[in-house]
Amino acid sequence: MHHRVCRYKNCNADLSLTTLNWTFLLHLAAPPTRMDFQMFAVVMLLLASVEQSMASCVVDSFTVKQDFDPKRYAGKWYALQKKDPEGLFLQDNISAEYTVGDDGAMVASSRGRVTLFGFWVVCADMAAQYSVPDPESPGKMFMNYQGLASYLSSGGDNYWIIDTDYDNYAITYACRSLKEDGSCEDGYALVFSRNPRGLPPPIQRVVRQKQEEICMAGQFQPVLQSGAC
């Protein structure tokens, strides 16, 4: 009869150690548990969310107002919120008046207060003309603008109508430069209203959703409308 030889004074200690080793090895070799699959699913979901978030911030993937109608858009609009670009930008009391000519081209005159040289606050007047590079996407326009004073800049930007119901609100967007991944490096956006006193709660919810869709949630600041301009 073969007798087991104990390596310790107490054979029970040797047996316990052997049992522990086998338990550890069996645990390593055991198939994944339900908890393992749950953790794996959570990690994969997080990775997918990050990937989707990065992809959705590509400017070319942003949607604009379908079948945008400039004639319905024409008229007076008041800025209620804005996300500034880099450099000088209108700070408050911003409004814009849009008109559409017989040829269908849209032009605008806008006003707003701006601070020059860090201390001089003036009401600035701007003019703009809009063109549609792709007739299949009338909501994606290009804007040429001019400051109607020597101290104001002139130039050109994309001018996208992200959304509008024509009667209450509009959200415009422009990206001046892109990152290598296609997201916006320097851009700005405005939330307009037909009423300078604000928007009703249901429309505010729509606006917040659109701000998220253009990856600018939490970046907007309110625009004072005091009638100063």
Q: Is residue 2, in this structure, part of any structural domain at all?
A: no
Confidence category of residue 148, pLDDT binned at 50, 70, 90? confident
pLDDT digits (tens, 9 = 90+) for 158-189: 999 999 999 999 999 999 999 999 999 999 99
Q: Is residue 1, in this structure, part of any structural domain at all?
A: no
pLDDT value, residue 38 = 53
Closest CA to 100 of 137, 75, 76: 75
- Mean pLDDT value across residues 202-228: 97
pLDDT value, residue 12 = 45
Q: Does one domain contain both 191 and 78?
A: yes
pLDDT value, residue 153 = 80
Q: Does one domain contain both 72 and 39?
A: no
Q: Does one domain contain both 124 and 170?
A: yes
Query: 37 lies in which domain range?
Result: 11-56
pLDDT digits (tens, 9 = 90+) for 28-82: 445 556 555 455 444 444 443 334 444 589 999 999 999 999 999 999 999 999 9
CA-CA distance, 86 to 41, in Å (whole number)?
41
Long-range contacts of 149-154 (CB under 8 A, 24+ apart): 149/124, 149/125, 151/116, 152/114, 152/124, 152/126, 153/88
Q: Is residue 52, in this structure, part of any structural domain at all?
A: yes
pLDDT top residue among 154 and 208: 208
Beta carbons within 10 angstroms of residue 73's beta carbon: 18
Q: Does one domain contain both 118 and 188?
A: yes
Q: Does one domain contain both 24 and 79?
A: no
Q: Which residues pair with 192 in a beta bridge?
A: 79, 170
Q: Is residue 228, in this structure, part of any structural domain at all?
A: no
Q: Does one domain contain both 108 and 191?
A: yes
The continuous run of DSSP H or E covering 96 comes out as strand 92-100
Lowest mean per-residue pLDDT among 86-90, 97-101, 194-198, 219-223: 86-90
The continuous run of DSSP H or E covering 175 comes out as strand 169-178
Q: Does one domain contain both 67 and 136?
A: yes
pLDDT value, residue 143 = 98
Residue 26 has pLDDT above 60, yes or no: no
Residue 134 has pLDDT above 90, yes or no: yes
Are 141 and 158 within 8 A, CB to CB?
yes
Q: Which amino acid is at 10?
A: N
Are 113 and 124 within 8 A, CB to CB?
yes
Residue 55, C-beta contacts closer than 8 angstroms, at least 6 positions apart: 61
Q: Does one domain contain both 78 and 41?
A: no
Which residue has tokens 């919120």?
A: 81
Closest CA to 170 of 58, 52, 69, 49: 69
- Mean pLDDT value across residues 102-110: 96
Are 100 and 79 within 8 A, CB to CB?
no
Q: Is residue 147, in this structure, part of any structural domain at all?
A: yes
Q: Is residue 86, in this structure, part of any structural domain at all?
A: yes
Which residue has tokens 């990152």?
A: 179
The continuous run of DSSP H or E covering 79 comes out as strand 75-83
- Mean pLDDT value across residues 127-149: 96
* CATH code, domain with 74: 2.40.128.20
pLDDT value, residue 9 = 44
Q: Does one domain contain both 49 and 162?
A: no
- Mean pLDDT value across residues 96-119: 95
Number of domains in the chain: 2
CA-CA distance, 184 to 173, in Å (whole number)?
11
DSSP 60: G
Q: Does one domain contain both 107 and 27?
A: no
CA-CA distance, 2 to 88, in Å (whole number)?
93
Q: Is residue 30, in this structure, part of any structural domain at all?
A: yes
Q: Is residue 3, in this structure, part of any structural domain at all?
A: no
Q: Does one domain contain both 77 and 44?
A: no
Q: Give the CA count within 13 Å in the CB-facing half-sphere of 169.
A: 20
Q: Does one domain contain both 22 and 130?
A: no
